[in-house]
Structure 1
Amino acid sequence: MTVTPFQALTCPLDGDPLSREGVSWRCPAGHSFDQARQGYLHLLPVQNKRSRDPGDSKDMVAARRRFLNAGHYQPIAEAVNRRVLAATPDNTLSCLDAGCGEGYYLRQLAEAAESGPELALLGLDISKWAVLAAAKQDKRTAWVVGSNANLPVEAASLDRLLCLFGFPVYQEFARVLKPGGLLVQVDAGPDHLRELREIVYPELRSKPAVDNVEPEGFRLTSTEIVRFDLTLTDAGAIADLLAMTPHLYRAKPEGRARAAALTELTVTVEVRLTCWQRHPTQTG
């Protein structure tokens, strides 16, 4: 199995294909983007940013890296890999992780496919800190700072697209997937991290039910619930779990203090894995 960087990138300013010239990527109109020395490419124009430093902070990325590299969410990665690698094409399988964070799930996919197809991988995140961390850990994959709302990817160029705990933009996802390509989506279930939420919030709000309304351009192929108990036996792992979630910033100081006092915690991990297939007859 060979892992190569995905190459079918486009200019974020005009949508034309980018071609590589040394450490620079250029479009026919002359827009140029230099690859950072760490190996990633910044394709998020300043006019498309909603803040100076969008996405996860440096501290959140570091917490997620420690937590995921410890293997705590390995069952989720295994479930994703099974879906991605089922019925793979005969040629190279191209896959984008849209909202890749520090790259854990693409690294797990590369390891799972050791005896399988060749992979062309692309990880994209709006956080430069996440992409930087991913590029430092894996040189085989293309890493890009960009936005799901305007993917710098050629139309109909991907076999698989991952959106894991992220923000799906189905119109863009449909555009970049090949007809018949697969979107693998993971979302938190109603009981996900319930025990932690009970500690940091004075009361829990019920999560809205998730329906299976098919996004335009897709049809539902399967759903799966991944659920298991996770026991954390040190304060550092508990702190990392809280820091990598929105609950760290949503909780009040007294709730964060209760979590910081914990030295052991068992939580329920519950996620919904949904697979959507790009309509085979649609293009563009």
Structure 2
Amino acid sequence: MSITPFQALACPLDGKPLSRSDGAWRCSDGHSFDIAKQGYINLLPVQQKRSHDPGDSKAMVAARQRFLEAGHYQPIADAVSRAVLNHAEAQTLSSEPFSCLDAGCGEGYYLRQLADAATNALSLSLMGLDISKWAVLAAAKQDAKQSPLSSWVVGSNAHLPVQTGTLDSVLCMFGFPVASEFARVLKTGGVLLQVEAGPDHLRELREVIYPTLKPERSSEVEAPGGFTQHSSERVSYSLTLKRSEEIADLLAMTPHLYRASAEGRARAAALETLVTTVDVRVVQWLRV
């Protein structure tokens, strides 16, 4: 198994290729971006920020890290790794590593799971990007415990700092998809893999925090521009959380933390155990 950081980065200011030298990434126009001591790079210019500190907070990142490392979403990680590696194995005759971007990587859990699941015969080139500097910092710190496996980048899905047509796969895990940018950075025949909440996802938790549940949206989704649907898989199982701290971490890593009323959050905080449904769709789109 050969896993290396993805290298085909682009300047977020002018889109030109970036080259690494002397602890920084630079483009031909002289724009320079220092590599942080933790190993990540910030490619999110001020003009692309919607707030001073966009994305998940430090507390939300810590909650997600505790929850995911406990293995509660392991079946989702397994399904994603299988899907990506099936495409990578079909490309074994290529002399180039199979490149994969996790767009909205959080603290890097799914890329680490992918790296762990890869076989010795595969060569992967990985990159994790998130708009939250706290998420990318946590991912880089985890990665630093061993030889760096991925490029970790603070950036936006709306302006991916990636050279055009250089990726074999893009992951968007419960994130904010920008189909036009995903289509731009993927090679023809590349795969966009989206994980989205299904109709029963965390239903029992939602029944606790909301007075009523909204009608579910149709599961029929049109192919984004530049893509055609390849496959769709449902991952559904029952999850038992036995401590109030685990329930709090689950709520903290979802949008429901802010959508729920104070009363709803208080009802969730009073729970000591929770049995809830995990229900997600793993949808693969082919770049045409």
The reply to whether residue 67 of structure 1 matches residue 67 of structure 2 is yes
Tell me the TM-score normalised to structure 2 length. Answer: 0.95
Alignment of structure 1 residues 82-231 onto 2, 5 Å = 82-88=82-88, 89-90=91-92, 91=95, 92-138=97-143, 139-231=148-240
The 2-side partners of 1:59 and 1:126 are apart by 15
Larger displacement relative to structure 2 (37-46 or 80-89): 80-89
Listed as ranges, the gaps of 5+ residues in structure 1 are 280-284
1:177-219 deviation digits (Å, cap 9, x = unpaired): 0110111100001110000011011111122113231111111
Q: Secondary structure at the match of 1:262?
A: coil
1:5-46 deviation digits (Å, cap 9, x = unpaired): 100000000000000012111000000000110110000000
- Who is 2:9 aligned against? 9
The 2-side partners of 1:26 and 1:257 are apart by 49
The reply to whether residue 236 of structure 1 matches residue 241 of structure 2 is no
The 2-side partners of 1:210 and 1:170 are apart by 18
1:36-95 deviation digits (Å, cap 9, x = unpaired): 101100000001100000001111000000000000000000101111011422241100
The 1-side partners of 2:255 and 2:177 are apart by 17
Residues 11 and 27 of structure 1 are in contact (CA less than 8 Å); yes or no, is this contact kept in structure 2?
Answer: yes
- Who is 1:27 aligned against? 27
Which runs of structure 1 show a deviation greater than 6 angstroms over 4 or more consecutive aligned residues? Answer: none
Listed as ranges, the gaps of 5+ residues in structure 2 are none
Aligned length: 279
The reply to whether residue 273 of structure 1 matches residue 278 of structure 2 is no
Query: Which AA in structure 2 matches 1:94?
Result: S
Residues 182 and 278 of structure 1 are in contact (CA less than 8 Å); yes or no, is this contact kept in structure 2?
Answer: yes
The 2-side partners of 1:144 and 1:243 are apart by 23
Q: Secondary structure at the match of 2:171?
A: strand
CA drift at 1:114: 3.6
Change (3 A) 1:116 1:211: farther
Residues 2 and 120 of structure 2 are in contact (CA less than 8 Å); yes or no, is this contact kept in structure 1?
Answer: no
Change (3 A) 1:116 1:164: farther
The 1-side partners of 2:204 and 2:256 are apart by 12
The 2-side partners of 1:209 and 1:116 are apart by 40
- Who is 2:53 aligned against? 53
CA drift at 1:254: 1.2
Q: Secondary structure at the match of 1:215?
A: coil
The 2-side partners of 1:222 and 1:212 are apart by 12
Calculate the aligned-residue CA RMSD, in Å: 0.9
